[in-house]
Amino acid sequence: MGNQEQWPLNGTLNYNTILQLDLFCRKQGNDSEVP
């Protein structure tokens, strides 16, 4: 992941990471199954 975001060691995601994943999925055209 870019922009200094790292995969969390304890398994939780912060809001910024979720937003980045959402944007990535939308760019890929897979926006139908983003929780």
What local confidence, expressed as pLDDT, does residue 20 receive? 86
Give the pLDDT confidence score for residue 15 in this predicted structure.
79
Using CA atoms, how far apart are residues 22 and 24, in angstroms rounded to an integer? 5
pLDDT of residue 31: 54
The pLDDT tens digits for 1-35 are 456 666 666 666 677 788 888 888 888 875 555 55
pTM above 0.95, yes or no: no
SS3 per residue for 9-23: CCCCCCHHHHHHHHH
Tell me the Ramachandran region of residue 26: left when phi exceeds 0, alpha when psi lies from -120 to 50, beta otherwise: alpha
Residue that is written with structure tokens 């937003």 in the block: 19
CA distance 26 to 4: 20
Amino acid 18: pLDDT: 82
